[in-house]
Amino acid sequence: MKYPKLQKSFFVKEDTLQAAKELLGKYLLTDINGEGITGGKIVEVEAYLGAEDKASHGYNNRRTKRNENLYKEGGNAYVYFCYGMYYLFNVVTGSKNTSNAVLIRAVEPEIGIDIMIQRKMRRLKSKGDLSINKTFNKTLKINSNINRIASGLEKNNIIINRITSGPGLLTIALGIDLRHNGIVICENKNMTIDVNDGNNFNKFNIINNNNDKNISNNDDDEYKNKLEIWLEDRSVNISNEDIIETARIGVDYAEEHALLPWRFKIKGNIWVSK
């Protein structure tokens, strides 16, 4: 099955609020260190509007070594370290030097769930904590349309139902860290991703529609790097009626901008962060 990868034209839109809403229902996918493809449907995001937004790292055109990639043209990743614990993944939007971005807060996991769990367990082990914290211990009341997802989350009699429900948790699950800060996450209009359906996607090719040349993810470093993280449109349409608009999380410092309703989440989805 071929799914269209989001093109640069999507990311360079000047209306970041609209772009944030349109990211709901799109798929965020990664292929990190040859471990296999992981990802799922985006269900929660936050918009940050650059120089005029007191909650943004780019407020008042502030530029530092840490946030320099935020000023790239739309279609790049902005990843930063937060709370001394987590990496947060943002999609840069708009024109170069505008510093607009969308934080991906939660994903409904569908692809490579076993790999996600392995990454989480490695993280716990590296922190010297082999117990699963309360967030990951909750037993989920599963409705029929997510049985297939939850069935893949049972390990050692534990249902790990929050593995991608939060911006720091999803980067652990998807293998995203500071190495990916500033990388390109979109291809040109002649590229599509050719993958095999299933719970675990392990192989993919880029198909160049101009000359029908197949390039495997091991043949060319340029393509490999671009495809470590990408987004796809799988024709999941989220209506405005199904989008909840509310205040962003953890931005109390932003004064009057702290209450702006620029956090968007899919109504009724159990994978949103809170």
Position 8 scores a pLDDT of: 95
Q: Please give the domain boundaries of the chain with CATH numbers for all domains.
A: 2-115+165-266 (3.10.300.10)
Q: Are 85 and 77 in contact (CB under 8 A)?
A: no
CB-based contacts of 157, cutoff 8 Å, min separation 6: none
Q: Indicate the burial class of 167 (C-beta count within 10 angstroms; 0-12, 13-18, 19 or more).
A: buried
Closest CA to 191 of 172, 211, 208, 176: 208
Region 94-110: mean pLDDT is 98
Q: Is the pTM of this model over 0.85?
A: no
* In the predicted structure, residue 39 carries a pLDDT above the cut 60: yes
Q: Pick the residue with more confidence: 134 or 232?
A: 232
**pLDDT tens track for 196-243:** 333 333 333 333 333 333 323 333 344 444 579 999 999 999 999 999
Model confidence at 84, in pLDDT bands (50, 70, 90)? Answer: confident
Position 226 scores a pLDDT of: 52
- Across the chain, mean pLDDT equals 81
Percent of the chain with pLDDT over 70: 73
Position 138 scores a pLDDT of: 40
* In the predicted structure, residue 139 carries a pLDDT above the cut 80: no
Distance between CA atoms of residues 138 and 110, nearest Å: 19
Model confidence at 99, in pLDDT bands (50, 70, 90)? Answer: very high
Q: Pick the residue with more confidence: 206 or 6?
A: 6
Position 223 scores a pLDDT of: 40
Dihedral class, residue 60 (left if φ above 0, else alpha if ψ from -120 to 50, else beta): left
Q: Which residue shows structure tokens 């987004």? A: 231
What sign results for the dihedral spanned by CA atoms 197, 242, 104, 220?
positive
